[in-house]
Amino acid sequence: MTLTKGLMMRHIITSFTLILISFISFHVHAQSYPNRAIKLVVPFPPGGLIDNAARLIGPELSKELGQPVVIENKPGAGGNLAAADVAKASPDGYTLLMASAPLSISPALYKTLPYNPVSIEPIAVLGQLPNVLLVNPESGINTVADLVKRAKANPGKLNYASNGNGTSLHLSAEMLKNQAGIFVVHIPYRGSAFANVGLVSKEVDFMFDNLPPALGLINGNKLKPLAVTTATRNPALPNVPTMIESGYPNFDVSAWFGLAAPKGIPDGVSQRLQVALEKIVARKEMVEAISRLGATVTYMNAQRAAQFMKTDTDRWRKVIDYAKIQMD
């Protein structure tokens, strides 16, 4: 009996010691981090939505953490080069990724990836914005129902533009094809700016685009918006219905951005970043600045962000499987 009690006591002491070490480690990491510059890797060239968002968040994060946040643009392979760069970095909180929709699309889209998707973990989602369904104002199409009716009356004769194979704009149109039961032809361009020109010049019949680059053309009456893809209307286009309002209850798609890190980042460091980011995006001036990008602040902590990304990947996987899209 005495031996058994002794073993039990030893087990309790060992367990308590491990818990105490973990607790101390958590707080040491949180208190000592950061003590040098942090690299924020952006997976796209300068000037785009994700880069602009990074350049809004970076300086404010630097103020909160008391260390420089250095932005490094690493475009290529649909965002996969940057993700691979971050995935192989030390999980110490000094290399972060400006995460966006490709992080949840790529695992379903690519046959092989230069990184393991589970080797990157989210820190937070910070903002969301819709894609918008666009037509030429002279098309005579005024609603989503008009577009679907014309497509069904002319199977295979209508075409749509995108900014490239496997992008959220391409996949949004494939989602419409699936849910509306229409057959239209995909015309990929070398970016949304070129696709917009194709739609303005009537080379194509419709397209989805991220809201920010389309707003100028919409406001200039060069393109007509039929619907936004988020569950709620966007303040920049308050009179434009959602796809859900237009008769497609399962059409809820958003572009998004946030921060991610190599898998294994210490909990204390992750928490430090989450607290700082939540404070930053809660500020009125930041809400207004992000709104000017065409996005809405939508803060999700690491746990909620992970679930959001899983749901996003599952959503896109269904579309990709339906459309039989596979990238090498």
Shared-domain flag, residues 124 and 163 = no
CA distance 209 to 239: 18
Domains: count for the chain: 3
| Secondary structure (DSSP) of 170-200 | HHHHHHHHHHHT---EEEE-SSHHHHHHHHH
State the pLDDT confidence band at 23, using cuts at 50, 70 and 90: very low
For residues 141 and 178, membership in a common domain is answered with yes
Task: Name the residue with higher pLDDT: 173 or 4.
Answer: 173
- pLDDT for the residue numbered 71: 98
Rounded Cα gap, residues 73 and 89, in angstroms: 16
pLDDT over 90 percentage in the chain: 80
Query: What are the φ and ψ backbone dihedral angles of 119, each rounded to 5 degrees?
Result: -85, 5
| Judgement on whether residues 197 and 173 belong to the same structural domain of the protein | yes
4 SS3 class: helix
22-26, 156-160, 250-254: which has the minimum mean pLDDT? 22-26
CATH number at residue 150: 3.40.190.10
Angle, vertex CA 100, rays to CA 94 and CA 103, nearest 5: 85
Is 244 part of any domain? no
Residue span of the structural domain in which 17 resides = 1-26
Any domain includes 69: yes
**pLDDT category, 191, cuts 50, 70, 90?**
confident
200-248 pLDDT, tens digit per residue, is 999 999 999 999 889 999 999 999 999 999 999 998 899 999 999 999 9
Q: What is the pLDDT of residue 15?
A: 47
- The answer to whether position 233 is within a domain reads no
